[in-house]
Structure 1
Amino acid sequence: MADFDPIRELDRFASTLLGQRSGMRLMPIDLFREGDHYIVHADLPGIDPGSVDIDVDGQLLTIRAERTVRGREGVTWIAREREGGTFLRQLTLGQGIDTEHITATYSNGVLAVTIPVSERARPRRIPVATDHGADTKVVGQTKTGDVPEDLGERHEVQGGTEMKQ
């Protein structure tokens, strides 16, 4: 027999009291940046890929999926934690996202949504020139997005950039 987990049982009890079992369910996600793309991995085991709906409205990305539970007649349930229902997750996309080229794949119960950074928002090198009479000479390059140490570090956060001192 499995060990009793009071935290899990309390969470289950609170969810029942608050009515979350009959409404939308939250899907756990991982969100990370890899090169010029943000990637969302959403756990959706047992979901029919045809029930997954992903849409972008302005800067709001919505992922919705449906799990239907097939009832079994004549069985006595000992545990039934894999409930059916609608799973929903919404992410606010910051400026500089290429919403026209978002893609998604579903494999082994994990939905992967790839969100590209727009070309305009990608870091690029800007030549630094000096003007010596008629000649212009490039003396170095700087990369946009670089921040001098005395201004702090840049950290990406949902919906924008936070400067950390």
Structure 2
Amino acid sequence: MVNTDDFIKRLEILMEHLGMNASSFADKIGVQRSSISHLLSGRNKPSLDFVMKILDIFPDVNLYWILNGKGNLLKGEVDYEATLETKNEDDHTPILSSNSSEEKNIEKKIEVENLKSKVSEFQNLKKDSDIFKIVFFYKDGSFKDFNP
């Protein structure tokens, strides 16, 4: 059985990681904004349909993490359990380390810039054809597309 309070905390972590507020998250996964509001307030419990909508729109989200907090937030990514801290022993509300989210954003921007420069170099070498997509395959079976 999924612990609703813990699920809500993980949902908040996911929205923060994605840089989305409750309204934009609801719009993105195709549910009413009130559904997110009722879920975050504890009025409603998450349904299987709700969880599946999250996974359909964000396939890199780890099912086991969103349901029970086991493993990593994203498949093949940093273990968020390791970056969570508690405010004190009485309050078990998780908070992210102060700079982990910021560092990830900077790393992603650097990675994208590096990829763009490598694509540019490659395109200069292969002037007779245009590159329209690059696909990165990861050991865990996931992949990401890059369209230069």
Which structure has the highest helix share of the two?
2
Common topology (TM > 0.5):
no
TM-score (norm 1): 0.24
Higher strand share: 1
Between Structure 1 and Structure 2, whose CA radius of gyration is higher? 1
Q: TM-score, normalization: structure 2?
A: 0.26
